[in-house]
Amino acid sequence: MRFEDFAKAHGIIIDRLVMHKNMRVPTTDHPRKRNGTYKFLGHVGFVRNFATMDKPAVWFDDTNTITPEMRIKSIKDYDKQRKLDADKASKKAGWIMHQTSLDFHPYLASKGFEYEVGNVWDTGTEKLLVIPMRIGTRLVGCQLISDKGNKKFLYGQTSKGATLTMNAKGFPIFCEGYATALSVKEVLKASNIPYCIHVCFSANNMEFIAGQFSNGIVIADNDDSHTGEFVAKKTGKPYWISPTVGEDFNDFHKRVGTFQASKSLREILTQYKLAA
């Protein structure tokens, strides 16, 4: 199997194959984002869809003679480099957070939170909203969001198991995006319901994080690929999902308002006896 076909089988879209570089590319489930990555070395390659894979899949060229020792060495070398990159990303995230200040941001305003402040990093050419990502108390990376809503993570950062947690006084709620979390927070505060929201940044990571808890509810994105609902069902937990394809909870909240969004979410919570 060619590397391009192997990548396609894992949902990775490669328009032009580039060798010896880590490339961020779109995926079949998120074709308008660069939610996938690959590295092609000729006789070996690595691909990863961040929404559906917690680690890279490895391809070997079956037309060449590659010994088992060569295969093992290739994987070990790649893993070693990944660890070095993850350490660099963690340090860079700490540096970035020290450059931020609390401020308003166009992205938050576009999501219905004009008066919400966040960590904003002025790079000199643009102002990025910075969402810290932690595993336990350790800062492992961050999500950077432009004023137009373009999102990216730091190169090489560890994403599996990384979250942003809002509050810690109630039952667990798991969601993918920061804006979704803000909408859930506003709706639950309006209903006076205690919560602990875990922003998981991807569907795959949401499944992993939710699996560490015995209870809770998943707030699923109703994306075109149905990845959000598929993952929500895999967690085995109750889940909320918008009736409209293409909407996440923030989209739903903006469309129907806080009262109706609160009513919709409370119906799920009450059904599963998660709220009085």
Tell me the CATH number at 174.
Answer: 3.40.50.920
pLDDT (average), residues 2-13: 94
pLDDT at 64: 66
The residue from 34, 66, 98 where one domain ends is 66
Domain edge (last residue) among 20, 43, 66: 66
CB 189 within 8 A of CB 261: no
Q: In the listed set 44, 66, 88, which residue is the last one of a domain according to the structure? A: 66
Q: What is the domain extent for residue 200?
A: 163-276
Q: Is residue 130, in this structure, part of any structural domain at all? A: no
Q: Is residue 134 part of a domain?
A: no
On whether residue 46 sits in a domain, the answer given is yes
Whether the CB-CB separation of 180 and 250 falls below 8 Å is answered with yes
Q: Does the predicted TM-score (pTM) go above 0.75?
A: yes
Query: What's the mean pLDDT in 64-70?
Result: 74
- The pLDDT value recorded for residue 67 is 75
Q: How confident is the model at residue 276 (pLDDT cuts 50, 70, 90)?
A: low
Q: What is the pLDDT of residues 186-223, one digit of tens each?
A: 999 888 888 899 999 999 999 999 999 999 999 999 99
Sign of CA dihedral 91, 151, 227, 55: negative
Answer whether residue 158 is part of any domain: no
Total domains in the fold of the chain: 2
